[in-house]
Amino acid sequence: MAGSALDGKVVLITGSAKRVGAAIARRLHASGANLILHHHSAKAEANALLAELNAARANSAATVQANLLNAAELPELVRTAVARFGRLDVLVNNASSFHATPLGEIKLSDWDDLLGTNLKAPLFLSQAAAPHLKSAHGCIVNLTDIHADRPLKGYVVYSVAKAGLASLTRSLARELGPEVRVNGVAPGPVLWPEDGSFDELARQRVISHTLLRRAGEPDDIASAVYYLVAEAPYVTGQIIAVDGGRSVNV
């Protein structure tokens, strides 16, 4: 796609096989980016997205499988991107675990899983990517959450993990500037958990706290990520809430 904003740029997106990650992938790819699509267990969805993107533009995307809880696998994601496309310009830390952890029922495995995917993996993946991002004068976008600032009742560990990711976003902006910009996007109600933990009543209760009185779409998040990647050269250390106004009304 000649003349597109991200022509020749290489983007690694974690958790990009489906849901918000896939929307981000489609948005950045449509603007000319070449993609490394990470997945853990969603192999079928990753391969379907890969076929879709490569049909639109040949040899523009590749997949890589990794368990983000295994820190030893994280540098390999970066090496795969550089080996496939010769560079790395953008890292999008999208992958996330989400499940309830009421106080009194929290297990060490909950801590390891939620902190591992939401904070530990973004940190060590960013560290591995940093030399390449500096060379490219690239950027990092972290998917945080409005509950980083306003904890979600019953989700203690998740809220703590996302608060850590928000702090990591600002810390990395200081550590990696001026060569690398680091920002975040904090989604509100966009897609509901697949485990059925939010029934219709719970969903309507959440939506009622948005100023726009509706849920968002994955493309709303993808557009914010695109803005930070392609249209915000003087923005770093910032987190944009894309939540229909919920974060100022809860």
pLDDT per position as a tens digit, 129-157: 999 999 999 999 999 999 999 898 999 99
Residue 227 catalytic? no
Q: Quick check: is 1 in a domain?
A: no
pLDDT tens per residue, range 193-222 = 777 677 788 788 888 888 888 988 999 999
**Residue 86 covered by a domain:** yes
For residues 77 and 189, give the distance between their C-alpha atoms in angstroms, rounded to a whole number: 29
Residue 3 lies in a domain: no
Q: Tell me, yes or no, whether 223 lies in a domain.
A: yes
Quote the tokens at residue 216.
Answer: 């968002």
CATH number for the domain spanning 199: value is 3.40.50.720
Residue 82 lies in a domain: yes
Nearest to 39 by CA among 26, 24, 22, 52: 22
pLDDT per position as a tens digit, 82-107? 999 999 999 999 999 999 999 999 99
Query: Is residue 15 in some structural domain?
Result: yes
Please give the distance of CA 117 from its chain centroid, rounded to a whole number: 11
Tell me the residue range of the domain where 242 lies: 10-248
Domain count within the chain? 1
pLDDT, tens only, 50-78: 999 999 999 999 999 999 999 999 999 99
Please check whether residue 2 lies inside any domain of the structure.
no
Nearest to 91 by CA among 36, 54, 135, 47: 36
Give the pLDDT score at 3. 52
Place of tokens 């550089």: 82
List 155, 158, 226, 227, catalytic entry: 158
pLDDT digits (tens, 9 = 90+) for 28-38: 999 999 999 99
Strand order through the sheet with 181-187 = 61-65, 34-39, 10-13, 90-93, 139-143, 181-187, 239-242
- Which residue is it, tokens 């904003």? 5
Residue 61 forms part of a structural domain: yes
Distance CA 167, CA 93 (A): 14
Confidence of residue 1 (pLDDT cuts 50, 70, 90): very low
